[in-house]
Amino acid sequence: MSGTSGSVAAADSEFEILCDDAGSFLRRYSTEGGETGFTDTELDGTTAYTPTGTVVRCDVEQPPAANPLIDGTIQRQTGAGAVTITAGARSVTLVVYAGSPTVAIGGGAAVPVPAGTSLTWSVDRGGDAGESLQDDYVVTGVAGSDFLVSSTREV
């Protein structure tokens, strides 16, 4: 059998979705002619992308920001009146001592909450994760109501 011999230059590529301060993007690692490099694109694989901030694997949990400051409030309402906690809180807790005040979340329908009830809405993390409650919470009391509303938020 006869033939020729020689070498063939092979190219190899691998892809990985990474994250930075602006979100996720696609990094293509390639080896061609013995040289290794990478190209960053948006997730469409064609639009050029320039990372901003620290580049990390998206599935790796990042350490929280250096001890964010947390502000807490507590308000007691007896009788008619309303307590409003604006969007952006990390937690909201309602404790009803008497009456049946109503709770409206994000402008939705007001729902009565009977005496003896304690409710809490919260997020796991704030800081770099940017988690916060996205709705306003409005607790409205009527004659005979007695309730407590506490909340926390990053400052």
Enumerate the β-bridge partners of residue 153: 71
CA distance 41 to 44: 7
What CATH number was assigned to the domain covering residues 70-154?
A: 2.60.120.10
Position 62 scores a pLDDT of 59
CA distance 93 to 95: 7
The b-or-e profile of 56-70 (16+ CB within 10 A means b, else e) is eeeeeeeeeeeeeee
Q: Where are the domains of the chain?
A: 11-57, 70-154
Residue 58 per-residue DSSP state = T
Q: 117 vs 61, which has greater pLDDT?
A: 117
pLDDT digits (tens, 9 = 90+) for 100-139: 999 999 999 999 999 999 999 998 765 556 688 999 999 9
| CA–CA separation, 10 and 90 (whole Å) | 53
Band (pLDDT 50/70/90 cuts) for residue 73 is: very high
